[in-house]
Structures are given as C-alpha cells and as structure tokens.
Amino acid sequence: LPPSLVSAGTQIELIATIAWTIDIALSFFRGFELRGVVELKQNVIIRHYLRSWFSFDITLVSVDWVLLATENSDFVDWLRFSRFRRALR
C-alpha cells in the first residue's frame, strides 16, 4: 500500500519488524563474550546463536510479520506485546 494509505503506527511497526529481521541476520556475524574472551570465529558464533537466542528471535519476528499481515484483530493487539518482551532482552 502507498504510505499515504497506511497509518503512522503501522509504518513504525513495519520499520521495527524489518529492523528486528535484519538484526537476526546480523547476529550470525556478531561476536560474543565467553568466559572473559571475545569469540569471533564464524562457525562458533553461528553455533552459539543457533543454540541460544535464535529460536526465540525467529519466533517473535515471525509473529510480528503475521501480525502485520493480519492487522484487524483484538488478538493481534494482545500479541503485539511480544515486541515489548523482545525489547527487554
């Protein structure tokens, strides 16, 4: 839809969902600290992310995309609270 037909709130939600989706991809390249040592080996980073936050991240972002696709529902409003929970992470 053209931006003029989409509410400002929906535009913000779309931008946030795109940002979180990009963040998932970037997480496969972002080092992490393990026992005081920063780990930068790609295969270790990927394995660590897949075993830690990936399932949580992909679930919430998938829900966000579904919510954007099914905009008109009280249940959708309740589920949007998931963004808040993810932000707390």
Produce one character per residue of 30-53: b if its CB has 16 or more CB atoms within 10 Å, e if not: eeeeeeeeeeeeeeebeebbeeee
Q: What pLDDT digit, counting tens, does each position of 4-50 carry?
A: 556 888 888 999 999 999 999 999 999 999 999 999 999 999 999 99
Helices and strands (DSSP H and E) totals, the chain: 5, 2
Q: What pLDDT digit, counting tens, does each position of 15-25 carry?
A: 999 999 999 99
Residue type, 24: I
Spatial distance between the Cα atoms of 55 and 13, rounded to a whole number of angstroms: 21
Spatial distance between the Cα atoms of 58 and 44, rounded to a whole number of angstroms: 19
